[in-house]
Amino acid sequence: MRKKLYISIAAFLVLVACTNDLNVEPLDPTVSTATTVYRDAAGYEKALAKIYSVWALSGQDGPGSSDISGLDAGNTVLFRSWFTLQEQTTDEMKNSWGDPWCLDVNGMTWGTTQSEPVEGVYQRCMYVVALVNEYLKNIPNAPAEVNRTRLAAEARFCRALAYYTLMDLFGIPPFVTEQNYSINPSQLERAALFDWIESELLDLREALPAPQSTVYGRAGQAAADALLARMYLNAQVYTGTPRYSDCIAACNRITAGGYQLAPDYATLFMADNGQNSQANGEIIFPVCFDGEVTKSYGMAAVILGSRGSGEFAEVPAGINGGWDGYRGTPELVRLFDFADNNAPQADEILDRRGIFFDKNRSIDITTSVTGTFTTEGWAVYKYTNLRSDGQPGSSSTFPDTDFPLFRLGDVYLMYAEAVARGGQGGSLDTAVGYVNALRQRAFGDNQHAIDAAWLQADNYRNLLDERGRELYWEGVRRTDLIRFGLFTSAAYLWTFKGGVLSGVGVDSRYNVFPIPTTDISVNANLHQNAGY
């Protein structure tokens, strides 16, 4: 995926209509219809690259372009919008930017009015669906040298991932494939959509490359298993029925595939994490970025957004400027063990996973989360555009840093939780060993090991906290909190939950986002989520 994507694909609304022609002005003037896009074997590879690219890129013609009319090229990159909804709504991150949607996302007070990150995730995931549907209609006509089965399986995986994202965030998105085309598609109920995604992943899995033959950045069997494991772990939320044994089985298939924990946690989030064999040996499936050929404000937002412009001389990040918006919450920082808990400083964190910057900042956010709150809330420096050798990435504006959408550390914790919750096909000893492997890497010793009782204590809350330490700012926190029944509940409060600085419980409707009115208004077959 570290190459420029030259193929031109039709605008979102044209593809949703499932017309045969890719009817837009292309980057390459010779490529303007499905016939010419899919004119040779290279065209099928390029079109698949386009499908993969939607997570990272806003548009075909550089970071200032958008494939979808009306969506801001920077703010609504799919990865960035998804990251915002999965993290800024939770106890891990708040954002001081003055955008109209920002306060609502910070405080879980959004309604049905148009919101950039909500529109970004919804429309761009449906765009992936439309691209894949068009791809699958054409691939039976591919020349003989094209591995039709494998490429179709990769495209179907990308569509399954898009539908999973929509199911998780919106519950009941419109459902359309290459086989059930409708210009006004209806919705599937959440449990039925879960069943379809599961069936699709199980059906396509064997056609994907085995773990040791997967090209980095493209889907293999382990990526399908990782998505299945995440679905199964959260199945009770999506369907009402727990599937912990199936989660364990999917995790077992991944761990049999030869993936290894990176020896150094920090290398997983550096500019060369895709080239560093130790880091990418843990990464199962990334969203790929490259400062020279995959220029995007997706990962740039995470790195620039979490730093103040004056901090780079003191703590280089391989990138120029800082947007000074994202902040770690006090709840996130206090998950970590300090050498001195009476007067904690960032350099006193015993757990190496806690990568923060605290100079001239208080842990607590006590004034507001609106405007620039430079002195409140620690900065999170987990992601950087520096390579593991200390040198900067290829661009000082657009990071090279890939985002690990699925990695082995998460698989270990999914396995441990599924076993602790009573799933069959695993063992408590293995679960304990997995957690201790992560903690040994984190602390550099065996003095912080846990036992089986720790796994099951306090309604598995230790595991939720451990996921916070291992996976913070990796886009899983909202889903985790919902699984534990804590996202909207008054039983667990955090800074600015419910729009109140000290935190309050909120209505359970906020466990999903509203279907955008921009879609409901043009499709009479859609209905809104309950409570909106």
Give this prediction's pTM.
0.94
- What angle, 0 to 180 degrees and rounded to 10, lies between the N-to-C axes of helices 461-471 and 408-420? 180
Residue 410, pLDDT > 50, answer yes
Residue type, 124: R
Closest CA to 243 of 458, 414, 457: 414
Closest CA to 230 of 485, 81, 407, 427: 407
Pairing label, strands 403-407, 283-287? antiparallel
Q: Rounded to an integer, what distance in angstroms lies between the CA atom of residue 467 and that of residue 481?
A: 11
What domains, with CATH codes, occur in the chain? 208-288+402-487 (1.25.40.10)
Residue 457, pLDDT > 90, answer yes
Residue 158, pLDDT > 90, answer yes
Residue 28, pLDDT > 60, answer no
pLDDT of residue 143: 96
Strand partners, 376: 362
Mean pLDDT on 370-388:
88
Q: Under a CB-based contact definition with an 8 Å cutoff, are residues 66 and 24 in contact?
A: no
The pLDDT > 90 percentage for the chain reads 84
Ramachandran quadrant class, 486 (left: phi over 0; alpha: psi -120 to 50; beta: rest): alpha
Report residue 140: phi and psi, to 5°: -60, -20
Q: Rounded to an integer, what distance in angstroms lies between the CA atom of residue 275 and that of residue 282?
A: 12
Mean pLDDT on 351-357:
97
What would the pLDDT profile of 215-244 be if each residue is shown by its tens digit? Answer: 999 999 999 999 999 999 999 999 999 999
What would the pLDDT profile of 361-376 be if each residue is shown by its tens digit? Answer: 999 999 888 766 678 9
What would the pLDDT profile of 14-27 be if each residue is shown by its tens digit? Answer: 333 222 222 222 33
Residue 279, pLDDT > 60, answer yes
